[in-house]
Chains A and B, each alone.
Chain A
Amino acid sequence: MGRTFAVILTLITVITVAVFVSHHWWFPEVASAHGVGMNDQFVETFIGAGIGFVLAQLALAVFAWRFGEKKGDSRKVRVFPGGAKGLVIFAFVYVGLEILGLAFVGQKVWADMYFTPPPSDATKVQVLAGQFAFYFRYPGPDGKFGPIHVDKIDEGTQNFFGIDTSEEGSKDDIVTAEVAVPVNRPVVLFLDSKDMDHGFYVRELRVQQDMVPGMEIPLHFTPTKVGRYDIACNQLCGLGHYNMRAFINVMSEPDYKTWLTQQAALQ
């Protein structure tokens, strides 16, 4: 029984580690500047956790294998060498060092995203989430977003932001159902919600942020790879949550300018 446990546990451990190491299921390719640091932090954590995982599971397996009581067993029970003290010290040192590393050194990515404001020349886009779609607004040549009038929002006439086009700042706003941004330039998204908590999640860009009604939350990053990436809502918002998505297109500068001009003509 103990030996069977040891074998099966070892198999589980080996298979688990093999799957992780093979990267068969792994993070999608990074498409943002801070994503590189995040990947590194992931790898460091995997190594630390992985060593702990293997050591613990194999120790359990070895002990289950070795220490089964046998018939007529005259063996004396043995205390673990060093007793509790040794294990406590090991835990404090190993885990302590690891968490010091992860807690402080590893927070650079978090600090980069959230402790520093976006640069002033970042491409600005406003994102409005509502059951169950994302809509986007560019400020247009005046660089200003016109006010959102909740009582003027009318999806039937596609006035998703409740814009009054006669108002200052609103005339040149460009509303789209997909967002495009130029590559290698900082972007800041102003995340709003008109009804529930929603989530803005783009895997390749390594960004995620809840969108809370009553708050406008800035999210900034610098995309580094051209491509079309899924935006998935990642905060349960109702029956259509699974279908709430959009696409973010990271384009070359000329392509982006062309796209924006086309969108402006459609308004």
Chain B
Amino acid sequence: MSDTSAAAHHHTAPTSFIRKYIFSLDHKVIGIQYYFLAIFSVLIGMVLSWLVRIHLVWPQLHIWGLEKLSPAGAPGGVMTPEYYLSLLTLHGTLMVFFVLTTAPQAGFGNYALPIQIGAEDMAFPWLNMLSFWTTFVGLCCLVATLFVKDGPPISGWTAYPPLSAVGSDAGPGQGMGQNLWAVSIAIFCVGSLLGALNFIVTTVDLRAKGMSLMRMPLTCWAWLITAILSLLSFAVLFAACILLFLDRNAGTSFFLPAGLLVNEKLQPHSGGSPLLWQHLFWFFGHPEVYIAIVPGFGVISHILSTFSRKPVLGYKVIVACLLGIGFLSFMVWGHHMFLSGMSPYSGFLFSIPTLIITIPATIVSLLWLGTIFGGKLRFTTSMMFALGFISVFVTGGLGGMFLAQPSLDIFLHGTYFVVGHFHMVMGVAAIFGMFAGTYYWFPKMFGRMMNETMGKIHFWFTFVGVYCIFMPMHFIGLEGNPRRYSQFVNAFIQPLMPVHKFMTIAALSTGIIQFLFFFNLFWSIFKGPKAPNNPWESTSLEWTVPSPPPFDNFAGVHPVVNHGAYEYGEENDGKDYVMQTDPPTRAVTG
């Protein structure tokens, strides 16, 4: 099966600059394009996080340049309450969609999946190119909200109606800004759906001879499961965005009940329910957070094995856990809605799979620990981030134990405890997965090595920094500090202001250090020392080809796979590992 499909994909190398780097069909170029789209988005998202954290602790500060960006939103450079919410909404939307849903899956996945399974390219290269440029258009729509008259929407990345659905009566940014948001996300959904199709068909159809499913690196399993989650969940979000757009512009009432008096104007809608949006959004929203983290699970498993010189412990179990997590992720969405007005019986029912999902997550974490146990750990930057991932994922995941119980959620919902939890798992763990992947695959992608010293400095400051930023959020959450407040005027929050200051300074410092990473990244692309084929002595197929690989990955050769992905062990003729394409007779013991 794979031979004929692979043969059908033979295409010639492009020659023009536009075909090579702009409108490219090559999955490697597209993967890098997605990666840099995410870098661009994370840069803006990070600056936005600085702005909002600065405003929280120094609300009357004149922020240089802000007035030029929005004279109405920040007269004299002082942020208005609505502009804070606008910037916060943009921060969340950019980070969740254009960073966390992009780089781990579409970025690294596009780059490495075809090579790791021994294919020349993705199943549908043209569709792949289309999905990138669609995502790009979505990003343009979102960034455009910064430049429309009333700025970005103020309803948060979750865009709950009625606030998001009634239009500009609800507040500044709720006119054009919210419309653009809905359009941007709908376009993003289309791009993701196209990408998901590609990933699934490629993994099912284009594996090289001998690359059975159980010989695939765990990264491939993670990308496959993530793609299935994307396919099923983004379809629902797409529908929800359309319904929202209709409520706002076509007079429909999917989400709007009768009798809404907004800013003294009686709204003409009737018959809808704000809860419907929440169900649709979170039916997507919960799988979405697994879409953000599961690729990281794959990358971390792969990197831990490589740099422990040991097979992954319990490969089959990890696959089963990833499948289990994927399946369960569709059954837990109501835990975002315990206090929403949904039936409390539903709330109780949702809490059960939410707690059960802890089991596969725990198993995976324990298997990572079991993988490094007894290994010969090589502390490259990539490995440091992988080890850090285990730590931060455990921390963030344990916060979930509290929030999964409706009784406790009564107190913790809407507080900084939630903000600390999801930043720990998404804003830290998933990002650590991206860093680990970057330092690991950079040599293959660009044919050069990144600087390890800079990488280590980047790791240390970041690892300590993220604990300083996000652990205190759990503490102030216990005090009931509400989230999404543009300013803290309540008396009971005043004693917590020193903690807020600490977190702001930690955020700014940790943010500054990321520029060392960006410098390392861009400098090394042009000036890094040349990379050998397999600098990490890793076993998967991408390390059998030059760095960077030729246009069709394997220079016309169809690889034949004889081994699983994690054969590390005792040295045998000088090497303690077996490449997947090594002859069947080669083995390591251990």
**Interface of A toward B, CB cutoff 8 Å:** 1-2, 4-5, 8-9, 12, 16, 19-20, 24-28, 37-38, 41-42, 45, 48-49, 52-53, 56-57, 59-60, 63-64, 67-69, 73, 75-80, 83-84, 87-88, 90-92, 94-96, 98-99, 102-103, 106-111, 113-115, 130-131, 150-151, 153, 155, 194-197, 199, 201, 203, 206-210, 212-215, 217, 230, 232-243, 245
Contacts and interface: CB of A to CB of B under 8 A. Distances in A.
A99 B355 contact: yes
Given A45-B405, A84-B317, A69 B378 contact: yes
Given A53-B394, A64-B377, A107-B348, A102 B405 contact: yes
Given A102-B355, A110-B406, A77 B414 contact: no
Contacts of A77: 308-310, 374-376, 568-570, 590
Contacts of B275: 212
Contact of A45 (B161, B372, B401): B401
A145 to B, nearest CB: 16
Nearest to B338: A110
Contacts of B415: 234
B130 interface: no
Interface in B259-278: 259-264, 266, 273-275
Contacts of B261: 130, 150, 153, 194-195
A103 B355 contact: yes
B384 A5 contact: yes
A232 to B, nearest CB: 5
B50 interface: no
Interface in B341-368: 341, 344-345, 347-348, 351-352, 355-356, 358-359, 362-363, 365-367
A76 B570 contact: yes
A151 B410 contact: no
A196 B163 contact: yes
Contact of A238 (B170, B340, B376): B170
B156 interface: yes
A69 B273 CA distance: 60
B487 A67 contact: no
B435 interface: no
A53 B395 contact: yes
Nearest to B588: A77
Interface residues of B, number: 108
B402 A2 contact: no
Contacts of A42: 402, 408, 411
B492 A110 contact: no
26 contacts: A16-B467, A25-B478, A27-B478, A27-B480, A28-B492, A49-B398, A52-B362, A60-B369, A75-B376, A77-B376, A77-B569, A78-B373, A94-B362, A99-B356, A107-B351, A108-B407, A130-B261, A153-B261, A155-B264, A195-B262, A201-B480, A208-B414, A230-B491, A233-B482, A234-B414, A236-B160
Interface of B: 80-82, 85, 154-156, 160-163, 166, 170-172, 257-264, 266, 273-275, 308-310, 313-314, 317, 339-341, 344-345, 347-348, 351-352, 355-356, 358-359, 362-363, 365-367, 369-379, 384, 387, 390-391, 394-395, 398, 401-402, 404-408, 410-411, 413-415, 456, 460, 463-464, 467, 471, 475-476, 478-480, 482, 484-492, 496, 499, 568-570, 590
Given A80-B313, A83-B313, A109 B407 contact: yes
B572 to A, nearest CB: 13
B402 A45 contact: yes
A214 B259 contact: yes
Given A27-B480, A56-B365, A113-B410, A150 B405 contact: no
Contacts of A233: 482
Contacts of A4: 460
Given A203-B411, A242-B81, A242-B486, A79 B313 contact: yes
Contact of A91 (B340, B348, B366, B374): B366
B394 A57 contact: yes
Max chain A C-beta neighbours (<10 A), residue from B80, B154, B410, B413: B410
Contact of A95 (B351, B359, B377): B359
B262 A234 contact: no
A38 B408 contact: yes
A24 B378 CA distance: 39
A212 to B, nearest CB: 4
Given A45-B402, A63-B373, A77-B309, A88 B314 contact: yes
A28 B398 contact: no
A25 B499 contact: yes
A233 B489 CA distance: 13
A214 B273 contact: yes
A243 B407 contact: no
A235 B266 contact: no
Contacts of B395: 16, 53, 57
A11 B573 CA distance: 42
A69 B380 CA distance: 11
A213 B355 contact: no
Max chain B C-beta neighbours (<10 A), residue from A37, A53, A236: A236
A146 to B, nearest CB: 16
B362 A91 contact: yes
A23 B158 CA distance: 33
A27 B479 contact: yes
Given A195-B261, A197-B162, A239-B172, A115 B476 contact: no
Contacts of B479: 25-28, 203
Nearest to A41: B407
Given A25-B475, A242-B486, A208 B257 contact: no
A195 B161 CA distance: 10
B160 A60 contact: no
B376 A243 contact: no
Given A76-B590, A130-B261, A209-B339, A87 B411 contact: no
Given A38-B411, A73-B376, A88-B366, 6 more contacts: A5-B387, A25-B476, A45-B405, A103-B351, A209-B339, A236-B484
